Amino acid sequence: MTWSPYAATDDEAVIGLLPPDFRLGAATSAFQIEGAAAEDGRTPSIWDTFCRVPGAVADGDTGDVACDHYHRMPEDVALLAALGLDSYRFSVSWSRVQPGGRGPANPAGLAFYDRLVDELLDRGVTPWLTLYHWDLPQELQDAGGWPTRDTAFRFADYAELVHARLGDRVTHWTTLNEPFCSAVLGHVEGVHAPGGRSLADGVRAVHHLHLAHGLAVQRLRAAARRPLDLAVTHLLGTSGPATDSAADREAARRADAFGFRFYLDPILRGRYPRDLIEDLAAHRIEIPVRAGDLEVIAAPIDTLGVNYYRSMRSSGVDEHGSAAGARGLPVTRALPHGGLPVTGLGWEVMPHDLTDLLLRVARDYPGTPMIVTENGAAYDDQPDADGFVDDAARTAYLSAHLAAVSRARTAGADVRGYFVWSLLDNFEWAYGYAGRFGIVRVDRGTQSRTPKRSALWLRDTARRVRRRSVDRGARTGTDADTGTVRRRRRP
Ligand code: FCB
């Protein structure tokens, strides 16, 4: 199979250019894999609630059991290690470690992550911890959620509480996963929890998520007794114009302001884009910035996490050819490119766009190292009699995208690692369990795990990349920080 404009055979050669210390890992998130929704003191998150809204999630699926990772964690960590992955990106469930989202820690909840971190370090896998992957405690939603400023301060307290327990062993901390999805899919488009449909709420949510990030960065830096690697992860893509018309070019500018610069500018430049402020003013919406907020939000980070799946084209006309939509405001419509291969969810496969994206970030926001914290594809897997999935399409997808990262590096982007989404087939939000992104198949009936061909490809790729270090006499696969951070002795 070939992916325009690069051929797969070239991809393998380009991947071979990655340096031996390039981070290769897999990612998951708490709500998508843990299950044990009501165990050991965990309280509901907005996703537990949303799953119960009729029609919100395909097939009425919930996260109640998910991949039962809460009970199978050692087995899953062993799997990661067997695949030779040096890093594991996971998230902490806020309502598991601080039920209700405020007040004291829940020792049983924290103990789970304590065991997970020790298990990873024991096996030479670096923990890459995300504090928030969309599962806000329901009580905080009831108090107003992300459109409310106080939620940012609750998040900072929670970040400190997790750090107090794990900060002696976890070096890599990501505050938030994809604020765009929390804010826009959750508050404007209504397709993610909490299911709101208000642009004004979405804009407030973005600002308070940024504030939450900045406050947490400050608190963690102040609390840490050793250097931490602090990051935030954003979902990024490009949004070029559908045609060269003035309306489409203007739509592409608006899409770029609202979907891209709204997220990177405050954090990496300490300001909101001027054109975005004007676009929002046309909707009579203001970003609720208070004095001092932008200094907090722009607290220096060490790494920018980039999640990439696909990009869309921007059109400035609606389906009837009109440039003014409802309420007389200009139209911005996201369209597929057309003529490209698509994944099982219909998402267009565009690896070359990942190269462009990474180069753009490197050019427009110089000086911040990047990690691709998510990239992967859902396909309609067909297991054989042994449960093995020969997922040639997913393997080609991953190979093409890893090569795209390598190309961006060669062209000057400082990209230091790549995490596959996802380790396991899991709860894919509104798609439920139908969206299978795993490199390891999870049988929904038995919960048995079977690495797919893509997992074996990743294992071999990791070996190949590391082998270069042996050839050159440099350090081998074990990550420096797993080597120096000692696990805590359990009584
Ligand atoms: C990302 C999410 C992740 C997963 C992938 C497919 O936006 O961060 O949890 O759902 O999409």
CA 460 vs CA 12, 88, 405, 466, 483: distances in Å: 11, 17, 18, 10, 22
Report pLDDT for 467.
85
- Binding site membership of 421 for ligand 1 (Cβ less than 6 Å): yes
| 339 confidence band (pLDDT: 50, 70, 90) | very high
The answer to whether 449 and 441 are in contact (CB under 8 A) is yes
Residue to substitute in 31, 234, 428 for testing ligand 1 pocket (most ligand atoms within 8 angstroms of CB): 428
**Which residue of 421, 423, 433, 436 sits with most ligand 1 atoms within 8 Å of its CB, as the best mutation to test the pocket?**
421
Query: Which two structure tokens, joined as six digits, stand for 369?
Result: 């190292």
CA-based nearest residue to 212, from 134, 266, 152: 152
CA of 55 to the centre of ligand 1 (A): 20
Question: Does residue 374's CB lie within 6 angstroms of at least one atom of ligand 1?
Answer: yes
**One-letter amino acid for residue 261 of the chain:** R
Atom 9, ligand 1: which residue's CA is nearest?
A: 29
Is 443 inside a domain boundary?
yes
Residue 214 lies in a domain: yes
Nearest residue (by CA) to ligand 1, atom 5, is 421
The verdict on the CB of residue 425 being under 6 Å from ligand 1 is: no
201 lines ligand 1 (CB under 6 A): no
Distance 86 CA to ligand 1 centre (A): 21
Task: Give residue 326's pLDDT band: very low, low, confident or very high (50, 70, 90).
Answer: confident
Q: Does the C-beta of 428 come closer than 6 Å to ligand 1?
A: yes
Q: How far is the CA of 87 from the centre of ligand 1 (A)?
A: 18
> Which whole-number Å values give the CA distances from 380 to 26, 57, 313, 343, 433, in the listed order?
20, 18, 26, 9, 11
Instruction: State yes or no: pLDDT of 172 exceeds 70.
Output: yes
* E runs forming strands in 40-106: 87-91
Q: Is the pLDDT of residue 293 over 80?
A: yes
Residue 4 maps to a domain: no
316 CB neighbour count, 10 Å cutoff: 26
Q: 193 C-alpha to center of ligand 1: Å?
A: 14
Overall average pLDDT of the 320-343 stretch: 90
The residues annotated as belonging to the active site are 178, 374
Which atom of ligand 1 lies closest to the CA of 437? 6
Q: Is 29 in the pocket of ligand 1 (CB under 6 A)?
A: yes
* Residue 324 pLDDT: 83
Domain-located, residue 489: no
Q: Which domain holds residue 213?
A: 11-476
Q: 91 alpha carbon to ligand 1 midpoint, in Å?
A: 12
Q: How far is the CA of 29 from the centre of ligand 1 (A)?
A: 9
Distance 131 CA to ligand 1 centre (A): 15
Mean pLDDT of 307-314: 97
Alpha carbon distances (Å) from 387 to 69, 381, 426, 428: 19, 10, 16, 20
**% of the chain beyond a pLDDT of 90:** 90
Average per-residue pLDDT in the chain? 94
What is the CATH number for 348?
Answer: 3.20.20.80
Residue 430 lies in a domain: yes
Question: What was the pLDDT predicted at 2?
Answer: 38
| pLDDT confidence of residue 8 | 66
**Is the beta carbon of 130 within 6 A of some atom in ligand 1?**
no
- Residue at 411 is within a domain: yes
Q: Is the CB of 87 under 6 A from ligand 1?
A: no
In tens, the pLDDT along 453-490 reads: 999 999 999 999 998 655 544 433 334 443 334 455 44
Where do runs of H (alpha helix) occur along 83-145? Answer: 94-97, 107-122, 138-142
Q: What is the 103 CA–ligand 1 centroid distance (Å)?
A: 29
Report the pLDDT averaged over residues 138-144.
98
| CA–CA separation, 132 and 232 (whole Å) | 10
pLDDT tens-digit map of 31-78: 999 999 999 999 999 999 999 999 999 999 999 999 999 999 999 999
Q: What is the DSSP string of 262-314?
A: HHHHHHHHSS--HHHHHHHHHTT------TTHHHHHT---SEEEEE-----EE
| Domains: count for the chain | 1
Per the CB < 8 A criterion, the answer to whether 316 and 323 are in contact is yes
In the structure encoding, which two tokens stand for residue 312, read together?
A: 């869309």
Dist. CA 437 → ligand 1 center (Å):
9
Q: Which of 33, 420, 429, 437 best tests ligand 1's pocket when mutated (most atoms within 8 Å of CB)? A: 429
Residue 141 φ then ψ, to 5°: -65, -45
Whether residue 328 is contained in a domain is answered as yes
Please, what is the Cα angle at 217 between 211 and 219, to 5 degrees? 100
Ligand 1 neighbour 181 (Cβ under 6 A): yes
First to last CA, the chain: 53
Nearest to 90 by CA among 148, 35, 42, 32: 32
Concatenated DSSP letters of 175-190:
EEE-HHIIIIIHHTS-
* In contact, 370 and 417? CB cutoff 8 Å: no
Contacts of 240 (CB under 8 A, 6+ apart): 252, 311, 313, 314
pLDDT tier, 118 (very low <50, low <70, confident <90, very high otherwise): very high
Buried b (16+ CB within 10 A) or exposed e, 371-388: bbbbbbbbbebeeeeeee
Q: Is the CB of 306 under 6 A from ligand 1?
A: no
Atom of ligand 1 nearest to the CA of 233: 8
Cβ neighbours of 475 (radius 10 Å): 14
Residue 486: the pLDDT is: 45
What is the pLDDT confidence band of residue 429, given thresholds at 50, 70 and 90? Answer: very high
Q: Residue 244 gets which letter from DSSP?
A: S
Task: State mean pLDDT over 278-299.
Answer: 98
Q: What is the pLDDT of residues 173-216, one digit of tens each?
A: 999 999 999 999 999 999 999 999 999 999 999 999 999 999 99
- Rounded CA separation 308/398 (Å): 12
pLDDT at 9 over 90: no
Asked whether the beta carbons of 348 and 335 are under 8 A apart, the reply is no
178 lines ligand 1 (CB under 6 A): yes
- Statement: residue 422 has pLDDT above 60: yes
91 lines ligand 1 (CB under 6 A): no
Considering the entire predicted model, what is its pTM? 0.94
Please say whether the dihedral angle defined by the alpha carbons of residues 451, 452, 453 and 459, taken in this order, is positive or negative: negative
Q: Which residue has the tokens 């990349």?
A: 465
In a domain, 40, yes or no: yes
Evaluate if residue 128 carries a pLDDT over 80.
yes
Q: Is the CB of 235 inside a 6 Å radius of any atom of ligand 1? A: yes
The closest-lying atom of ligand 1 relative to the alpha carbon of residue 32 is: 9
